[in-house]
Amino acid sequence: MAFSRKSLGIPYAVFLVVFVAAPLLFLFYYAFTDGQGQFTMQNLLHFFTDPNTLGTLYYSFSIAIVTTVVCLLLAYPVAYILATSRLRQRSVILMLFVMPMWINFSLRITALKEILNVLEGNLAMYPFLNAVIGMTYDFLPFMILPLYTTISRLDGALREAAMDLGANDVQTFLRVTLPLSVPGIISGVSMVFLPAMTNYVVLDMLYNSTYIMGSLIGSYFAAYNWHGGSMISLILLAMICLFTLLSGSVEEEGSARGALL
């Protein structure tokens, strides 16, 4: 048999089938069947009629949006200042912001929990606030990095051109720098918003009593309700797909430059 370069792709094809396609098919199967293996739309109906699941969806959205906005507001100035400064140590400072990522996740959250305990007394009193603090702490580097990359790649001559044409610093920022950093904002937002929608370990560890989508799915599976849990997972997946497609199209429209890590 002649060696074909295509055969090099076989391991990847196997990987995709076993770890991506097959689980998705299982998810579909469970989502649209009941305990007896019969096709049913009951799970779907249940999701949209149960105030509990809808409430959780709404709550998850709120947490994810607030976390994303807080991350963006914190990260943009940091990224902007670092990317535009002439500081020789700027890569060191950037590293300091990113360094928490190198430390074990549960260790970080445990430490945060202790700090919040001291500050708040009873963690259960401020579930929403704690969720946002925990996730912001966890996801901030994912917002800073793409923003930093995008802004530092902006041609400095563009800012100078704007000033040359009569724009002061604020106008230059609003008319040139900000619009041109949109690709970075979009990748930062996707990298924070998506995990914020699904991550529930942070909340669990902060003794959070409230449910978000992730914990809701977890609880279904813990109760052996694989069909309900699969449906919620599928719906979440669909929403994330939609979000990614939307942000992707905005990005393409804005400019052709990609800006990931």
Partner 1 sequence: MEKKDTIIELRGVSKVFEDNGFKAVDNFNLEVKRGEFVTFLGPSGCGKTTTLRMIAGFDKPTEGDILLNGESIVGLPPYRRPINTVFQRYALFPHMNVFDNIAFGLRQKKTAKDVIVRKVKHVLELVDLEGFEERGIGTLSGGQQQRIAIARALVNEPEILLLDEPLGALDLKMRKEMQLELKSMHDKLGITFIYVTHDQEEALTMSDKIVVMSEGRTQQIGTPEDIYNEPVNAFVADFIGESNIFNGMMTGHLKARFCGGEFSCVDDYEEGTHITAVVRPEDVEITKPGEGTITGVVDSVIFKGIHYEITVLSGRNEIVIQTVRNATVGDRVGLRVDPENIHIMLAEDHTNKFYADINPDFRLEYNGHRIETSLTKIIRGSKRREDGTVVDAAGEVLEPGRVRILVSIQPQDIEMTDDQDAGLVQGTISNLIYKGDHYSYIIHTELEQDFVVDDEDLWNMDDRVGLLMPVDKMTFTLKRK
Given the rule CB under 8 A, which residues bind partner 1? 86, 155, 157-158, 160-168, 171, 175-176, 179-180, 182, 254-257
CB of 144 to partner 1, least distance (A): 22
Comparing CB distances to partner 1, the nearer of 93 and 163 is 163
Among residues 195 and 254, whose Cβ is nearest to partner 1?
Answer: 254
Contact between residue 200 and residue 215 where contact means Cβ atoms under 8 Å apart? yes
Which CB sits closer to partner 1, 121 or 179? 179
- Min. distance of Cβ 167 from partner 1 in angstroms? 5
* Per-residue tokens: 16: 């995709």
Closest approach, Cβ 76 to partner 1, in A, equals 17
Closest CA relative to residue 63, chosen from 143, 133, 138, 147: 133
Q: How far is the CB of 75 from partner 1 (least distance, A)?
A: 21
Taking the complex as a whole, how short is the minimal distance between the CB of residue 32 and partner 1, in angstroms?
A: 44
Nearer to partner 1, 122 or 155 (CB): 155
Closest to partner 1 by CB, 163 or 240: 163
Report the nearest approach of partner 1 to the CB of residue 173 (Å): 13
Residue 14 Cβ vs partner 1, minimum distance, rounded to whole Å: 40
SS (H, E, C) the chain: CCCCHHHHHHHHHHHHHHHHHHHHHHHHHHHCECCCCCECCHHHHHHHHCHHHHHHHHHHHHHHHHHHHHHHHHHHHHHHHHHHCCCCCHHHHHHHHHHHHHCCHHHHHHHHHHHHHHHHCCHHHCHHHHHHHHHHHHHHHHHHHHHHHHHHHCCHHHHHHHHHCCCCHHHHHHHHHHHHCHHHHHHHHHHHHHHHHHCCHHHHHCCCCCCCHHHHHHHHHHCCCHHHHHHHHHHHHHHHHHHHHHHHHHHHHHCCCCCCC
Residues 6+ positions from 208 with CB-CB distance below 8 Å: 123, 124, 127, 130, 131
Report the residue number, 180 or 192, with the smaller CB distance to partner 1: 180
Q: Which is nearer to partner 1, 4 or 168 (CB)?
A: 168
